[in-house]
Each structure stands twice: as C-alpha cells, then as structure tokens.
Amino acid sequence: MKSPKILIFTDLDGTLLDDKTYSFKPALPALKIIHSLKIPLILVSSKTRAEIEFFRKRLSLDSPFIAENGGGIFFPDRFKLPKDFLYEKVNGCNAIFIGRPIKEVLEKIHKLKEDFPFEGFSEIPVKEIVALTGLTLEQAILASKREFDEPIVLKNPLDDREIFCKKASDLGLDCVYGGRFIHLFLDGNKGKAVEIVLNIYKQLRGPIFSIGLGDSPNDISMLRVVDKAILMQDRDGTYIKGLVHPDLTKTEGNGPEAWNRVMLSILSA
C-alpha cells in the first residue's frame, strides 16, 4: 500500500511567525527539513493574498496557499487541478474562490454600525494599520488589499465580542476572532478551504496525512479537519477553547520557536 503523503497546513501570526516581529527565523531548522523532504507547506491565514505572497517568497515556497480566512485558495499556475474544480486565473495562480467578494461583506457590515461603533480595514488609513499591527508601511499596504475578509476594531473596549458576533451572524456574516482583530466575511472559512485542498491532493496524489498548526479561534475549523492538530499557546499562555480532536498536541509557547520544536519532534518520529 502506498504510504500517505504528508501535508502541513499552518497559520502565520503567532504560529509560524512571531506575532510582534513577524520573523520566522527560529523555525528555519524545521523548515529546512520540510524543504528537503519536499513536503507541501500550505500557509492558511487571515492575511491577504498579497501579504501571503510576500512571505511565500521569503520562505521559498511553491505550494498552494489559503488567504483571508479561507476566502480564496491559490494554486501555482503549474499546479494542474482536477477537471471537476472550477478556477480562475489570478496573478499567475489558479484560484478557487469560496468567500463572497469584499463589496458584499461591506454592504452587510454597514448595518452593524447602527449598534456598534467600530472601524474596519477598508476605513482605516494605512498609517493607522501600521500602528495597530507593527507592520512596515509596505506590509500594511498589502494588508489593506482585502478581497474577502474585513478585520475590524471595536472602538469601545467594553463591547462584548460575543454579542457583536451574534449580531453579525444575524445579518448572515461569519464572525471569528483572529490574533488581533475580529474578522467578518461571507461563506469561506479555513476549514472549508483546507478540506478542498485535501480533496484535490487525494485525487492527484493518493493517501494523505495532514498536520495543522494554529493558535486562534479562527484556526479551529482548520484544526478540526486535519489528521493531526497542533495548538499553540496564546500570548497570555492560555489555549483557545472549543477544539475537540482525536489527535491533538498542545505546545508550550507560540510563534516560530514553538513551531520549530513541535515540527522537529513530529518529523523525527
């Protein structure tokens, strides 16, 4: 019987990347092994396509990636998709869109303003995104190029996120917490996107063993659908709640050092 092919799905901020410096340098030992074994490393993030492409170049990756909480899946142009998958050509990629366009999301978001004061990335000046995130100006410009998902900041820190998300849900919006922001979108989520990628690899390559790494509530849907789930600690040393999985590993710490440690352990097993 053919051995399962390994696929690794990873969140970025607070997982593969340091959530303050956005560095992945401490993860280089594990990344080198992953490259040498030709294991597809699939980035799954709330970041935009433009942001992820920036990091893919730095990481020397040629595997597919999932942007904006599952809104879009992007395969390199030379990656030939099975015939039953509809895709569009986007900037050298074969793209499968799950999420609704950002214009539709913003139309629904407007109604939320009647009950909650907040700002979304579509309204925030780029320099303010720099202040909120610690990104460089170049990276903040890339972060503002939203296609599916609107990160928002509640102006009143006393506003309850759960009540806010309930109101958003009543309007048909998907609402999840990321590392820093509440994210609003329509239809797509990380889990749906990962399931599609798994289905495609299974059709093309046969049996798959999938590993997922994440740290935030918006990673739960992704971690539920992989064979092995790895949960990183939050910044305050706690773990997100609500994830039940038959093969769950909880790491000590977060960011690239913890990512490197747990991946070296798995790859050497």
C-alpha span between 22 and 41 (Å, rounded): 18
Q: How far apart are CA 55 and CA 96, in angstroms?
A: 20
Give the angle 185-73-199 at the CA atoms, nearest 5°: 115
**Annotated catalytic residue within 11, 13, 18, 174:** 11
How many CB atoms neighbour CB 90 within 10 A?
Answer: 14
Respond yes or no: is residue 160 known to be catalytic.
no
| DSSP per position, 47-80 | S-HHHHHHHHHHHT--S-EEEGGGTEEEEETTS-
Q: Quick one: which of 183, 260, 246, 247 has its CA closest to 15? A: 260
Helices and strands, number each (H, E), in the chain: 9, 13
By annotation, the residues acting in catalysis are 11
